[in-house]
Structure 1
Amino acid sequence: MSVQRGGLGRVTHIIGEGLEGRIANRHLALFGLGFVGLFFVLPILLLIPESLNLGSTTPFESYRRVANGIYVDAFVRSFLYGFVTTVVTLALAYMLSYFLAFSTERVRTAMILIIVPLWIAYIVRYFGILLFLSPAGPLADLTGFETDLLFTTPAVIIGLANVYLPFAVLPIYNSLNAIDEELVNASRVLGAGKWRTITKVIFPLSLPGLVAAGLIVFILAAGSFLGPAVLGGPNQTMIANVIAQAFLDNFNIQFASALAIVYTVLLVGLLLVFNTLFDLQEVLGNI
């Protein structure tokens, strides 16, 4: 075993020496931009001519159909669920992150418990929540009565918040952990109580992590497919479910492409509005 590790170490050392001075930061940036451009920007650009269907007699029919009430409701529901999930998740994540940063010394153990769920497939976690909320599940055993949460909006919100909680804890904890203890101690020495120290010192300094966490959770939650598919009913259908149904069930590529383009434009528009309220470049740079 030691021989294998030594051989691997020598290979790594040789590769490192060979690449030293040849790879600059701009090369890494170009690699990242190229990856995003190839697997994100290009596929979206390919959807545009597909959605227009210019070779047919009704090239913009898919976009006219998107304006139908049921599809507008799916867009509104997606962004509304994304917003509510973000608020719930940030509240839970901030309390948990504050506890980790200021109230416990077992940070490593707690972080392992937070990160381990990320290794479990989403579908398994959603079905675990489905079992927990079922009328014959653990929640019913604990409360003593059958719950009617399954296939409702609260069930979808609970599922989304549970799944995306780790994505919020990590940036918030990073911001809280970066706060200089001297600032907190100075606030208390000057007579501020615990609550005033939190609201006037800790919370403003942790705002970059909170904003970054909110951005991540909102994007993930608003575009969720499995959450409403497993925990929701027909009245909880989100836009990702509608796109999947249009493409996989109805084989209507043009309409699915139009839905995806409209969703992307709306999401980018919301992010631009968000950027006017919070300078995302500055916020993400301060994490």
Structure 2
Amino acid sequence: MTNLMRGTELARDIVLRASEKAAGYTERTGRKPCLATVIVGDDPASVTYVRMKQNRSHKAGLESRHVALPEETTTGELVAKIRELSDDPEVHGILLQHPVPRHIDERAAFEAIAPHKDVDGVTMHSFAGMSFGHSEFVSCTPGGIIRLLDAYDVEITGKHAVVIGRSPILGKPAAMLLLARDATVTICHSKTAGLPEIVRTADIVVAAVGKPKFVQGDWIKPGAVVVDAGYNEGNVGDVDFDAVTDALITPVPGGVGPTTIAVLLEQTVDAAWRELDA
């Protein structure tokens, strides 16, 4: 029997605690923790996602500073804007909405984010910290995945986790966080041979490949835990949800997405407090 692992209630709890900490920060300083969101171009999905993050920020008692740049923005111009935000003492966290237009060097833009403001966990500094277990900020989606597994009492230690996808902001950090929790981790990607057979050995599957319904139902062994971190046009994940018959699985939407935003807000509030207490 398939059971759902929903992120909505967990996200609500995370945001509630973040709101309380944000209120305490505002009471002490007279200012709100500030998250700056940067978007380049007008991709409809990205615009909607950024607007959602802004709305959630306001509801949680955070200030949201929106920076919208035109499609033709160069790498140098984007890097300069991000460095400006990094130097602004009123900004506590910076989010660069992914993906950026193809002509921009996204990694150079990410690395312009000051490490103490990298609340989305996208810099090499944050990745190294995650890999060694000493990061101030985790990548938000992978961090939300771990919180979701814990909320549903999923045993990670000693389990075989298969991560499908090796992006630097999702697949790789998810693998590092699972490894840190003593899972045996296999990372699969576009060049992996025998992918279905590998996935069938997994106790935990994290699908982060960016292709709708890519993971087939008969790839999932009975009783496995399936985390669908994909979001594609038409509210479809990376897993063929209807074909999975015996698993604990995240729905799309309503699974990983809410926890991602919740962790982002939580880490922004934490960044504000760290700066105050430094």
Higher share in helix: 1
Q: TM-score range by the shorter chain?
A: under 0.3
Larger Rg: 1
| TM-score using structure 2 length | 0.23
More contact order relative to length (CA 8 Å, sep ≥ 6): 1
Higher share in strand: 2
| TM-score using structure 1 length | 0.22
